[in-house]
Structure 1
Amino acid sequence: MAYVPVPKDLTKVKTKVAFNLTKRQLVCFGGGALIGVPLFFLLRGPVGNSVAAMCMMLVMLPFFMLAMYEKHGQPLEKIVGNIIKVAVIRPKERPYQTNNFYAVLERQEKLDKEVYDIVHGNQKLAAPAVRKRRKDRAAG
């Protein structure tokens, strides 16, 4: 009796459309053929068959890489995009920043006290910044 291995994780199984290729692979191979084959026939006369074939392969190689290369579930254009973001777009120095929970609680407590003082009319206890804002509003 023949046994067929069935993968445990079926999310990595891709549906095949034609010739045991996915839609992505068919589109990339079609694009490569659409550009590479006419280039071969245009260059075959002036430079010879072998040079034309090498040029055709060099032009079609990126399309084949886009169709076939995948690392950690990401296609080539996402990998290249991530490399460009890290190397060019984002800043080289990324300082470590945290949001200290204790500092947040202290700021919230100070704001609560300030609001309480404003609501209950304790002018002396209100923070100086609040008094300054009140003066600015009264003047302006």
Structure 2
Amino acid sequence: MEIKIPKEVHKHKETIFFGLTARQFFCAVAAVGLAAGVYLGLGPVIGRDTASWVCILAAAPLAVAGFFHYNGMTLEQFVWAVVKSELLFAGDRPFASENFYYDLLHRKGGQDFD
């Protein structure tokens, strides 16, 4: 009997069902539920053929969200990082250095180096 131990312990993912992690499993179940709801809701309205394509397009992002990892970030963390860097904190970031020791000497009445 052989037990496989990953080389990097932090990359270990515990599987719960069909070899999927909990995140992957719940995203897959939610995607199937969303696809069924879209198909049953839109099938009589726009036709079953078109509704099947719409349900695939609706469920795909939710299914991908469970498997997405980029630089150790999940999809939500990645989207938040992009929003912060491109929208919230976008713009010029001027560099201004401060010499704390120089300021400390001048505030305390120490020696003047000018």
Q: Same fold (TM over 0.5)?
A: yes
Q: CA deviation at 1:33?
A: 1.9
Question: How many angstroms apart in 2 are the aligned matches of 1:42 and 1:19?
Answer: 29
| Correspondences of 1:1-140 after superposition (within 5 Å) | 6-100=5-99, 104-113=100-109
The structure carrying a bigger helix percent of its residues is: 1
- The Cα RMSD (Å) is 2.1
Question: How many angstroms apart in 1 are the aligned matches of 2:92 and 2:32?
Answer: 43
Question: How many angstroms apart in 2 are the aligned matches of 1:92 and 1:112?
Answer: 37
Larger radius of gyration: 1
The TM-score, its normalising length taken from structure 1, stands at 0.68
State the AA in 1 paired with 2:23: R
State the AA in 2 paired with 1:112: K
SS of equivalent to 2:20: coil
Question: How many angstroms apart in 1 are the aligned matches of 2:106 and 2:59?
Answer: 65
Aligned residues: 110
Q: CA deviation at 1:21?
A: 0.9
Q: Identity of paired residues, percent?
A: 21
Higher RCO, 1 or 2 (CA under 8 Å, sep at least 6)? 2
Question: How many angstroms apart in 1 are the aligned matches of 2:82 and 2:108?
Answer: 46
Gaps of 5+ in 2: none
Deviations, residues 11-56 of structure 1 (Å, cap 9, x unaligned): 1011001111111112211222222202102222232222111110
Question: How many angstroms apart in 1 are the aligned matches of 2:46 and 2:107?
Answer: 79
